[in-house]
C-alpha cells in the first residue's frame, strides 16, 4: 500500500471529482470532497515522512521503466509542496460547504466540487510528476478547472475575469508546451531526471536557450510575476470566496515550484545562474513587483482586490529569494510558499466570512465589523499582522530568512534588505486601513448582522492558529525548507 502512495495522491481526488459531478446533491458532493481532500492530505504527509526517512521516492506508472514510462518522483522539494497544496485543499473543502451554498446557485454546487477536486488533483499532479509532458497535462487540468471555478463567482464580472485568465493562462501553457517540445527535440527525453543528465551536453545550443526562455515566460505568466500578473487581481476579486482562498494559497505556489524544478533541477542551478543569469533577470522584476504592487494595494477599496495585489507583491518576495542564488535565499522562498499560503488562506477565508454575512468586502461596508463579527475580524487582524511580518507569526519567519539572505551577500544587497523592510511598512498601511475601518468606525449596516457560522470560522481559525504556531516554532518548517533548498542548489556553492 505504501508503495502506491504517489499514484494514490492523484487518483483519489481525480476519481472523486466525476463522482461529485454525478451525485447531483450539494451536501453529499461537499462531504465527498472533504473526504477526498483529507485523504490527499494524509497521503501527502505520509509521503513527506517517507522522503524524510529514506530519500527520493520513485513510482513507475504501469511499471514502465523511465525514461520510456511516466515516473512520479518525490523528493524533499515536491513532498514539501505537496503538503502545502494538500493542506490548503483540506482546510478549504470543509469551509466551502456553507460558503458555497451562500454564493453559488444550488444546481451548480456538485459541479463546483467536481471542479474543485479536479483543480486540486491537477495541482498535486504538477507537483508530483517527474515527467515534463505530464506537467503540461496536469497544468491544463488544473487551469481549466480553475477557469470554471472563477467564473462561478456571483458578480457578472467574474465571467470576464475568468475569460481573461483563460486567455493569459492558455498563452502561458502554450509557451510551456513549446519549451517542452524544444527540449524533446534536443534530447529525445521527457523524463526530468533524464533531462537533467542529458541537457549539460547541449547547453551551448541556441535551441535549449530558447526553450529556457519559453518555459520561463510561460511559468512566470502562471505565477503572476510582474508584469505578467494582470489576470490575477480580477480573478481573485470576483471568484467565490473559497475559490479565492484556495487559488491564492496553492495555484501560484505550484507555479513557483515549477519554476524552481525546471530551472534549478532540470537545467541545473549552475546553468541558470552562471550561464543564463537568471538571478539578474528576476531580481529587478521581483523588486518592482514587491514595491509597485504594495503601493497599488494601499489604494484599493475592495479588500479582496487589495489582498490580490498584495499577493502579487508577496510572489515578488518568493522570486526575490530565488534571485539571491543562495541557500538562505532559496530557504526563504520555500518557507514563504508555505507561510504565504497560511496567511493569505486565513485572510481570504476571513473575508469569505464577511461576504457570508454582509455580502460585500468594500472597505466602507466593513466599517464597525469588529464588534459585530469579533472572531472573524480577529482572524483578519492576526492574518494581517502575519502579512506585515510581526514576530510570533509565520510572516516574520519568512522575512527573517529573506533579510538574512540579503545581508549575507553584503554590499549593495543591503539595499534589497532595506527595500523588503520598507514594503513591510507598506503592508502595515494597507492592512491597517482595514483594521481601522473595522474597529474604529461605526457599523452602518443591518442591525441583525452577527458572527459567521462555526463551519466557516473553524477552518479559518485552524489557519490562524497555524500562522501563530509555525511562527513560534519554525524550527521544523525551516529545517525542511533548508533541506529542500540544499537539494535544489546542489552542485553550486552556498
Single out the segment in contact with another protein by CB under 8 A; choices: 249-257, 359-367, 426-434, 452-460. 426-434
Site for another protein in 475-494 (CB under 8 A): 475, 478-479
Burial bucket for residue 409 (CB in 10 Å: 0-12, 13-18, 19+): middle
Residue 404: CB minimum distance to another protein, A: 5
Q: Which is nearer to another protein, 61 or 421 (CB)?
A: 421
Report if residue 417 touches another protein, rule: CB under 8 A.
yes
Report if residue 329 touches another protein, rule: CB under 8 A.
no
Q: Which is nearer to another protein, 267 or 470 (CB)?
A: 470
Q: Which is nearer to another protein, 446 or 473 (CB)?
A: 473
Q: Rule CB under 8 A: choose which of 79, 93, 388, 484 binds another protein.
A: 388
Report if residue 390 touches another protein, rule: CB under 8 A.
yes
Q: Rule CB under 8 A: choose which of 284, 436, 450, 455 binds another protein.
A: 436
**In the structure grid, which three cell numbers stand for residue 363, read together?**
472597505
Q: Rule CB under 8 A: choose which of 196, 198, 298, 404 binds another protein.
A: 404
Single out the segment in contact with another protein by CB under 8 A; choices: 1-9, 343-351, 432-440, 452-460. 432-440
Q: Name the pairing type of β-strands 71-74 and 57-60.
A: antiparallel
Report if residue 399 touches another protein, rule: CB under 8 A.
yes
Site for another protein in 457-476 (CB under 8 A): 471-475
Question: Residues 10, 11, 16, CA angle at the centre, nearest 5°?
Answer: 110
Residue 424: CB minimum distance to another protein, A: 5
Residue 102: CB minimum distance to another protein, A: 32
Single out the segment in contact with another protein by CB under 8 A; choices: 99-107, 114-122, 272-280, 401-409. 401-409
Report if residue 424 touches another protein, rule: CB under 8 A.
yes
Residue 413: CB minimum distance to another protein, A: 11
Q: Which is nearer to another protein, 442 or 447 (CB)?
A: 442
Single out the segment in contact with another protein by CB under 8 A; choices: 48-56, 84-92, 269-277, 385-393. 385-393
Residue 177: CB minimum distance to another protein, A: 41
Residue 328: CB minimum distance to another protein, A: 10
Residue 486: CB minimum distance to another protein, A: 15
Residue 422: CB minimum distance to another protein, A: 6
Report if residue 208 touches another protein, rule: CB under 8 A.
no
Residue 305: CB minimum distance to another protein, A: 22
Q: What is the 3-state secondary structure (H, E, C) of the chain?
A: CHHHHHHHHHHHHHHHHHHHHHHCCHHHHHHHHHHHHHHHHHHHHHHHHHHHHHCCEEEEHHHCCCCCCCEEEECHHHHHHHHHHHHHHHHHHHHHHHHHHHHCCHHHHHHHHHHHHHHHHHHHHHHHECEHHHHHHHHHHHHHHHHHHHHCCCCCHHHHHHHHHHHHHHHHHHHHHHHHHHHHHHHCCCEHHHHHHHHHHHCCCHHHHHHHHHHHHHHHHHCCCCCCCCCHHHHHHHCCHHHHHHHHHHHHHHHHHHHHHHHHHHCCHHHHHHHCCHHHHHHHHHHHHHHHHHHHHHCCCEHHHHHHHHHHHHHHHHHHHHHCCCHHHHHHHHHHHHHHHHHHHHHHHHHHHHHHHHCCCECCCCCCHHHHCHHHHHHHHHHHHHHHCCCCCHHHHHHHHHHHHHHHHCCCHHHHHHHHHHHHHHHHHHHHHHHHHHHHCCCCCCCCCCCCCHHHHHHHHHHHHHHHHHHHCCHHHHHHHHHHHHHHCCCCCC
User: Could you tell me how many residues of this chain bind another protein (CB under 8 A)?
Assistant: 33
Tell me the per-residue interface mask from 330 to 369 with another protein, x by CB under 8 A, - otherwise. ----------------------------------------
CB–CB of 372/444 below 8 Å?
no
Report if residue 378 touches another protein, rule: CB under 8 A.
no
Query: Which parts of this chain interact with another protein (CB under 8 A)?
Result: 385, 388-392, 397, 399-400, 403-404, 407-408, 417-418, 421-422, 424-425, 428-429, 432, 436, 439-441, 471-475, 478-479
Amino acid at each position: 500500500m505504501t508503495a502506491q502512495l504517489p499514484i494514490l495522491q492523484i487518483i483519489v481526488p481525480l476519481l472523486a471529482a466525476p463522482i461529485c459531478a454525478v451525485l447531483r446533491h450539494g451536501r453529499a458532493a461537499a462531504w465527498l470532497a472533504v473526504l477526498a481532500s483529507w485523504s490527499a492530505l494524509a497521503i501527502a504527509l505520509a509521503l513527506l515522512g517517507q522522503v524524510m526517512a529514506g530519500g527520493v521516492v520513485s513510482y513507475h506508472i504501469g511499471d514502465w521503466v523511465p525514461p520510456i514510462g511516466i515516473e512520479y518522483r518525490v523528493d524533499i522539494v515536491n513532498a514539501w509542496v505537496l503538503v502545502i497544496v494538500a493542506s490548503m485543499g483540506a482546510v478549504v473543502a470543509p469551509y466551502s460547504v456553507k460558503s458555497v451554498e451562500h454564493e453559488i446557485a444550488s444546481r451548480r454546487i456538485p459541479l463546483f466540487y467536481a471542479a474543485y477536486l479536479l483543480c486540486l488533483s491537477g495541482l498535486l499532479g504538477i507537483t508530483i510528476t517527474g515527467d515534463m509532458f505530464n506537467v503540461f497535462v496536469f497544468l491544463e487540468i488544473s487551469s481549466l478547472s480553475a477557469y470554471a471555478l472563477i467564473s462561478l463567482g456571483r458578480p457578472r464580472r467574474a465571467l470576464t475575469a475568468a475569460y481573461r485568465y483563460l486567455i493569459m493562462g492558455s498563452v502561458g501553457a502554450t509557451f510551456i508546451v513549446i519549451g517542452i517540445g524544444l527540449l524533446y527535440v534536443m534530447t529525445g527525453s521527457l523524463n526530468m531526471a533524464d533531462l537533467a543528465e542529458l541537457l549539460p551536453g547541449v547547453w551551448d545550443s541556441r535551441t535549449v536557450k530558447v526553450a529556457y526562455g519559453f518555459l520561463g515566460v510561460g511559468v512566470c505568466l502562471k505565477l503572476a510575476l510582474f508584469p505578467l500578473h494582470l489576470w490575477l487581481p480580477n480573478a481573485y476579486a470576483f471568484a467565490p470566496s473559497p475559490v479565492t482562498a484556495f487559488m491564492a494559497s496553492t495555484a501560484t505556489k505550484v507555479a513557483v515550484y515549477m519554476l524552481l524544478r525546471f530551472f534549478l533541477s532540470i537545467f541545473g542551478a549552475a546553468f541558470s545562474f552562471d550561464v543564463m543569469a537568471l538571478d539578474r533577470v528576476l531580481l529587478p522584476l521581483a523588486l518592482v513587483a514587491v514595491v509597485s504592487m504594495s503601493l497599488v494595494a494601499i489604494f484599493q477599496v475592495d479588500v479582496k482586490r487589495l489582498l490580490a495585489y498584495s499577493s502579487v507583491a508577496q510572489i515578488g518576495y518568493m522570486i526575490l529569494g530565488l534571485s539571491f542564488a543562495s541557500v538562505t535565499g532559496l530557504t526563504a522562498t520555500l518557507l514563504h510558499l508555505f507561510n504565504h499560503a497560511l496567511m493569505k488562506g486565513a485572510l481570504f477565508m476571513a473575508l469569505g466570512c464577511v461576504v457570508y454575512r454582509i455580502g460585500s468586502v468594500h472597505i466602507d461596508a466593513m466599517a464597525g465589523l469588529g464588534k459585530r463579527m469579533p472572531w472573524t475580524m480577529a482572524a483578519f487582524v492576526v492574518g494581517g499582522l502575519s502579512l506585515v511580518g510581526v514576530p510570533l507569526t509565520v510572516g516574520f519567519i519568512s522575512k527573517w530568512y529573506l533579510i538574512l539572505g540579503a545581508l549575507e551577500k553584503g554590499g549593495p544587497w543591503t539595499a534589497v534588505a532595506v527595500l523588503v523592510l520598507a514594503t513591510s511598512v507598506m503592508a502595515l498601511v494597507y492592512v491597517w486601513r482595514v483594521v481601522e475601518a473595522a474597529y474604529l468606525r461605526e457599523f452602518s449596516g443591518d442591525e441583525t448582522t452577527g458572527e459567521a457560522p462555526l463551519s466557516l470560522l473553524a477552518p479559518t481559525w485552524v489557519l490562524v492558529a497555524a500562522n501563530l504556531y509555525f511562527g513560534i516554532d519554525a524550527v521544523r518548517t525551516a529545517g525542511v525548507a533548508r533541506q529542500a533548498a540544499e537539494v535544489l542548489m546542489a552542485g553550486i556553492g552556498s
